[in-house]
Structure 1
Amino acid sequence: MKFVELLLRNHPFANITFGVVLLMGAIGYALLPREQDPEINFNWVNITTVLPGASAEDIEKRVTQPLEDAIRQVADIRFVVSSSRENTSSILVRFRDITERVFDKRVNDLRREIQNKAQTELPPEVRNDPRVMEITTSNGFPTAQVLLAGRADDEALRRAAYAIRADLERLTGVDQVFALGLRDPELLVEFEPRRLAARGLNAAELADAVGGWFRDTFAGKQVAGSEAWLVRLIGQQADPEYLAQLTVAVPGTAQRVPLDALASASRARAKPRNLASADGRPAVMFSVTKKSYTNTLELVERIRAYAVEQNPLLAPSGLSLTLTDDQTVPTREAINVMQSNAALGLALVLAVCWIFLGTRVSILIALGIPFSLAGTFAVLYATGFTLNISVLLGVVIVLGMIVDDAVVVVESLYWRVQRGQQVLAAALDALRETFAPVTSSVATTVAAFLPLMLMPGIVGKFMFVIPFVVTLTLAISLIEAYWMLPAHVVALKLDLSRPTRTQRLRHRFTHLLRLKYSRALLFVMRRPRRCTALIVLTVAAAAAAVAGGLVRLEFFAFDPVRIFYVNVDMPAGAPIEATLARVE
């Protein structure tokens, strides 16, 4: 106990440590990224491939099946789910519950197999390469949804949508922005079959001729005298008149026919894969996902500020930008619950301890709450956690346990000082007496939460955070109970040899309370059967109330209903415009 005595005597060291922990905790709490869910990788990978103009059958045969053959070469895959629809192939790969290091290796293997298959077997018309995306809690669900509505589905809406998507992608913390209802510009060539047949041409030859002309050709570097020139032929232009002037060779002759003699070229937009509207007005919906370890609250505020800033500029064009979904609502509610519970717990600890132990001792005990929470937040920030609902749930659970060990230690110390023992000796004796039972009590609590930390799979990843926070906070509360609290009491030089009037009243009150409690205990012990039956009936009534729904179980305020999803199934072959009209 000499080392413990040295720590209790060294008041400045204890005070400095206490202040440093509070400061580090405050900094960690301020810097912890706020988000709804902990950062978890689901071991899911989504592969998206776009082949413009292809039917669902073509997508399945020419894109999805070759990619599935490539995926079979990758190990540790649990199952594969694919969806082939017009223009788009989507494949969801679920890996087994493997370590993060092995998962990263398997994803690299998957990317390599997909890339090799794309270069060898996929059609050359595939737009870009297949997009391979790992699904996590950050990018699996949109953080916010922004709606751009206009008067008509015209060029003004499209240009504004492209500019807004680019601006949103540049915001700090934004990972990707998915635009629903935004159709890419195209040059449309509409041919007359009779004109083609009259010259011995068909649609495929016309398409090959246009594709051969409508491309940029780079011929490398040519040296002319003492100068070097880059040679290139610009064949792509967004002008339909340029397209109309291209020529098509007539088979079997040297004749070339201009395109406008066979077809008409005009500006158009791609066939829509999805459409959006708001109150009957054409719209574009932007779904924004965030990067890992990004503060969701700050990101949504940046998006909201951007919308407010852009609306005055969009109003003359009849456009409006609105933040339609805010994922931070449950996170804000959870933070408010945690803060209010912490404040309420602090007030109750102060009140109860003041009644039995006095003002100064009650304040010292109550300081254990901010000390334990500060240490917890400092460790969470240092280890890369975020402030999410799971963390806050663990904090709310442990709030009622933080000061239990401190109360036991200080009560033993107070009892000895009250009977004339010196405060330092009383502190050492109190620690000898309470160390084993207090440590055992905390250990049993930790043991009750330990199975949650050992759960496998995705559920285990979600549940790990809660028992980790509880265990960490209880461990820090032991430091406060065994070191900080006794050191502060010793520094306070607690002396009860000359009790004040308030202390005498407190002594009378506690004596009366002990007397009443003893009589009640004797009354119960003399009637064991009746009291046991009453306890059983009370427990049964409580269980019936919970089972019957009379008592609601709710750790946090439920996520308010922000969006209703209504699915409308239309007959096969119904155009997307008809579906939108029916929904409206």
Structure 2
Amino acid sequence: MEKIIRWFVSNKVVSNLLMVLILVTGATTIPSLKMEVFPEIELNIISVTTVYPGATPFDVEQAICIKIEERLQGLDGVKKITSTASESVGSVTVEVIQGEDINDMLDKIKAEVDAIDSFPESIEKPVCRKFAGSNPVISVAVHGKLEDNILNELTENIKDEIDALPEITFTSIVADLETEIAIDIDESALRKYNLTFQQISNSIREWSLNIPSGSIETKEGEILIRSNSQGYSIYDFSEIPVITEQDGSIVFLGDISKIRDTFSDQFELDFLFNGENSNLITVFRVGNQNALDVSKAVKDYVEVKSAQLPPDAKITAWDDEARILSGRIETIVRNAQQGLILVIFVLALFLKPKLAFWVSLGIPISFMGGFWLFAPLNLSINMLSLFTFILVLGIVVDDAIVVGENIALFRERGMDPNEAAVKGAMQVATPVFFAVLTTMTTFAPMLSVDG
């Protein structure tokens, strides 16, 4: 230890260059670091979901879940297999042994499931995917005195516009309702025209579709012919002919039924924001995206979009998780500034201004050195990492003061500056080292936590 300290004291140029290198590289690394509210946690879980239309939970279990479980049983890297069978859907969850490559395991499980040839013919292709921790950053509330269908359409349009922002990759609608056309047919109308549900279904299937009808070659080029008859609105379906008589009379679908534009699913709870009918769009951070940039982009969009909406419609940025991260960054900056000022003032008052300057440099050097190591260690600026910076801020300052004060004591005794630096540092090296070691030992159990 003494040789290392003496070498750095004797080679001041190298020491100063190393100090500058740490400060510059740390400062230039910060903008490229990933900023998130909480660190990503990769779950070692893979799910296999299969749709079996019209099947009971018992049929799903026998035809889907049990076959997948038997196929994956004994596969290398699999820790536990559980399954859930519900009406028309079977889900098998595979827990992977810690340390296994989750992407390799996903490929293996997918290959095994695809190799099963005894599934019923009517099932949809099984979907294998790994569970990924979501990183919501901010929500956007679309609200106002609006009908459900208008609110749903407005929410989808706003979602598309947010998705188009260069800073945004993934968003989702909380109450994502799919629209559908519901056709209610009166039984008396069926008896009156001697119709069946099958005849009406066939008429809708034959008339509501788009059909390519070939092409025509001309001197100017080829003209493609296509029949666009797919129905999308109440009017489109009401104009579908159900009965066509030889005298030219036509009975349309709208004449014998009530056609409604509604939703395929209905939520049991009402979504209200400030007492108004609403829906929420959740904006996520993906990959190395910066949570602060994502939040700012959404807030800027909301500010611009609010001025473009009609009076009955409103849009509000809400539940901004990045605000917490921004507050923690402001806390660490404020603490560092206050600590720096206090250290310089106190040491300059009771010791020497020169000593105060060099001791206070320990704060930015330690911080920049820590940020410099973030990139190679694949770490991010988040709530937990910033908490540790705030925690060690006092430790860094305390140790620097102890070493600096001891060096000043040897200088007051008339010792040479270089020798005072070596003797002063060596005398307190052991207690300082073990003081840091005890702090590291206290938080060492956190290293065993997954993620």
Q: Is residue 443 from structure 1 mapped to residue 440 from structure 2 by the alignment?
A: no
* Percent identity for Structure 1 against Structure 2: 20
Q: Distance in 2 between matches of 1:111 and 1:147?
A: 38
Q: Which residue of 2 aligns with 1:465?
A: none
Q: Distance in 1 between matches of 2:418 and 2:5?
A: 11
Deviation at 1:4, TM superposition (A): 5.8
Q: Distance in 2 between matches of 1:118 and 1:389?
A: 49
Please tell me whether the aligned partners of residues 180 and 276 of structure 1 are also in contact (alpha carbons under 8 angstroms).
no
Please tell me whether the aligned partners of residues 185 and 257 of structure 2 are also in contact (alpha carbons under 8 angstroms).
yes
Structure 1 portions without partners, runs of 5+: 251-256, 463-584
Matched residue of 2:308: which SS? helix
CA 356–146 in structure 1, closer or farther in 2 if over 3 Å, else same:
same
Deviation at 1:326, TM superposition (A): 1.7
CA 243–113 in structure 1, closer or farther in 2 if over 3 Å, else same:
farther
Please tell me whether the aligned partners of residues 70 and 113 of structure 1 are also in contact (alpha carbons under 8 angstroms).
no
Q: Distance in 2 between matches of 1:113 and 1:175?
A: 32
- The 5 Å alignment of 1:115-126 reads 121=120
Q: Which residue of 1 aligns with 2:103?
A: 104
Q: Which residue of 1 aligns with 2:95?
A: 95
Letter in 2 for 1:294: Q
CA 434–12 in structure 1, closer or farther in 2 if over 3 Å, else same:
same
Q: Which residue of 2 aligns with 1:26?
A: 27
Write the deviation string for residues 472-523 of structure 1: whole angstroms up to 9, x where unpaired: xxxxxxxxxxxxxxxxxxxxxxxxxxxxxxxxxxxxxxxxxxxxxxxxxxxx
CA 404–209 in structure 1, closer or farther in 2 if over 3 Å, else same:
same
Q: Which residue of 1 aligns with 2:247?
A: none
CA 371–113 in structure 1, closer or farther in 2 if over 3 Å, else same:
same
Please tell me whether the aligned partners of residues 64 and 89 of structure 1 are also in contact (alpha carbons under 8 angstroms).
no
Deviation at 1:344, TM superposition (A): 3.2
- The 5 Å alignment of 1:52-201 reads 60=57, 68-69=65-66, 72=69, 73-74=71-72, 76=78, 78=80, 80=82, 82=84, 93=93, 95-96=95-96, 98-99=98-99, 102-109=101-108, 121=120, 132=129, 134-138=131-135, 142-153=136-147, 156-181=150-175, 183-196=177-190
Does 1 or 2 have the higher relative contact order (CA < 8 Å, sep 6+)?
2
Q: Is residue 297 from structure 1 mapped to residue 292 from structure 2 by the alignment?
A: yes
CA 345–292 in structure 1, closer or farther in 2 if over 3 Å, else same:
same
Q: Distance in 2 between matches of 1:130 and 1:110?
A: 11
Please tell me whether the aligned partners of residues 65 and 92 of structure 2 are also in contact (alpha carbons under 8 angstroms).
no
1:340 to 334, 337, 354: 334
2:262 to 228, 244, 269: 269
Letter in 1 for 2:133: T
Write the deviation string for residues 1-35 of structure 1: whole angstroms up to 9, x where unpaired: 77765543443333232222112222333443332
Matched residue of 1:236: which SS? coil
Matched residue of 1:284: which SS? strand
Matched residue of 2:146: which SS? coil
Q: Distance in 2 between matches of 1:242 and 1:355?
A: 86
CA 396–137 in structure 1, closer or farther in 2 if over 3 Å, else same:
farther
- Report the count of equivalent residues: 439
Deviation at 1:163, TM superposition (A): 1.2
Please tell me whether the aligned partners of residues 43 and 132 of structure 2 are also in contact (alpha carbons under 8 angstroms).
yes
Deviation at 1:396, TM superposition (A): 1.8
Matched residue of 2:173: which SS? strand
Q: Which residue of 2 aligns with 1:425?
A: 419
Q: Which residue of 1 aligns with 2:231?
A: 237
Q: Is residue 399 from structure 1 mapped to residue 393 from structure 2 by the alignment?
A: yes
Structure 2 portions without partners, runs of 5+: 245-249
Please tell me whether the aligned partners of residues 110 and 128 of structure 2 are also in contact (alpha carbons under 8 angstroms).
no
Deviation at 1:78, TM superposition (A): 3.7
Please tell me whether the aligned partners of residues 64 and 119 of structure 2 are also in contact (alpha carbons under 8 angstroms).
no
Letter in 2 for 1:238: Y
Letter in 2 for 1:13: V
Q: Distance in 1 between matches of 2:276 and 2:149?
A: 15
Deviation at 1:50, TM superposition (A): 8.6
Write the deviation string for residues 111-157 of structure 1: whole angstroms up to 9, x where unpaired: 56777899965867x8x98694623152xxx3222211232316543
CA 293–433 in structure 1, closer or farther in 2 if over 3 Å, else same:
same
CA 348–321 in structure 1, closer or farther in 2 if over 3 Å, else same:
same
Please tell me whether the aligned partners of residues 173 and 291 of structure 1 are also in contact (alpha carbons under 8 angstroms).
no
Write the deviation string for residues 342-379 of structure 1: whole angstroms up to 9, x where unpaired: 23333343344335531111210111111001110121
CA 178–102 in structure 1, closer or farther in 2 if over 3 Å, else same:
same
Letter in 2 for 1:25: G
Write the deviation string for residues 80-115 of structure 1: whole angstroms up to 9, x where unpaired: 475858xx969584624523x522223344556777
Q: Distance in 2 between matches of 1:71 and 1:259?
A: 49
Write the deviation string for residues 523-569 of structure 1: whole angstroms up to 9, x where unpaired: xxxxxxxxxxxxxxxxxxxxxxxxxxxxxxxxxxxxxxxxxxxxxxx
Letter in 1 for 2:420: A
Deviation at 1:38, TM superposition (A): 0.9
CA 203–219 in structure 1, closer or farther in 2 if over 3 Å, else same:
same
Write the deviation string for residues 369-424 of structure 1: whole angstroms up to 9, x where unpaired: 11001110121144332211110121122112214444444344333333333222
- The 5 Å alignment of 1:177-576 reads 177-181=171-175, 183-196=177-190, 202-204=196-198, 206-211=200-205, 213-217=207-211, 234-244=228-238, 246=240, 260=253, 263-264=256-257, 266=259, 268-274=261-267, 275-316=270-311, 318-453=312-447, 455=448, 460-461=449-450
Greater helix share, structure number: 1
CA 174–22 in structure 1, closer or farther in 2 if over 3 Å, else same:
same
CA 222–83 in structure 1, closer or farther in 2 if over 3 Å, else same:
farther
TM-score under structure 2 normalisation?
A: 0.78
Deviation at 1:165, TM superposition (A): 1.0
